[in-house]
Amino acid sequence: MKSLRLLVVVGLVLLLTACGGGRGLTEAPKIDPAAQAITTYRIGVDDQLQITVWHNPDLSVSVPVRPDGKITVPLIGDVVAGGKTPEEVAAEIKDKLQSYVRDPQVAVILTELRSHEYLSRVRVTGAVRSPVSIPYRQGMTVLDAVLAAGGTTEFAAPDRTELYRKGGDGVTTPYAVRLDKVLQNGDLATNYPVQPGDVVTVPLRAF
């Protein structure tokens, strides 16, 4: 009998421990992959970049992205920047500099957005009062773009709004935007930052 009770107690302890571990796993914060994609900016032609190599001022330069998508960096020559993120360019420069500099620390900062006008604009189409193509500005969001288009019409289905973005691989991806919650409830969960070349489409509601 005592052995049976001991087994029951041990079983309860193990069960409680497992339940506690399960709660810890389910409560862990999750990263929204869509939000990550939304915040990624890819460098374009004519953008101005500041390349900083820590403790090596002679290697730190401010350079424009040439029409061929490349920049020139001291010691290592040409590096492809067009279509890449600043972090990807910094990693490539660091890798190439390791032949000349011990443990180089490289930072790439976009100082001026001067990409071709077509690529530097954000477009708003569909059931808005004035469909527009507006110049991109740092920090602009979906709501900013829609308000620049005069807001939605009475025939709009704002809860089915989509943000279309072309990735570095050439594939266009749609992101769902709950514009009704943004406008009516102040819920900014899907009020994504926009990027140059983005298209925001507000569809008509079904009748």
Domains of the chain as residue ranges with CATH:
48-112 (3.30.1950.10), 121-202 (3.10.560.10)
**Residue 114: predicted pLDDT:** 73
**Model confidence at 117, in pLDDT bands (50, 70, 90)?**
low
**Residue 39: predicted pLDDT:** 59
**Model confidence at 105, in pLDDT bands (50, 70, 90)?**
very high
Whether the pLDDT of residue 19 is over 70: the answer is: no
**Residue 25: predicted pLDDT:** 40
d(CA 42, CA 158): 28
Whether the pLDDT of residue 100 is over 90: the answer is: yes
* Mean pLDDT, range 41-70, rounded to an integer: 91
**Residue 145: predicted pLDDT:** 96
- Comparing CA positions, the residue from 67, 194, 192, 191 lying closest to residue 120 is 194
Helix H segments across the chain?
2-26, 33-38, 86-97, 142-148, 179-185
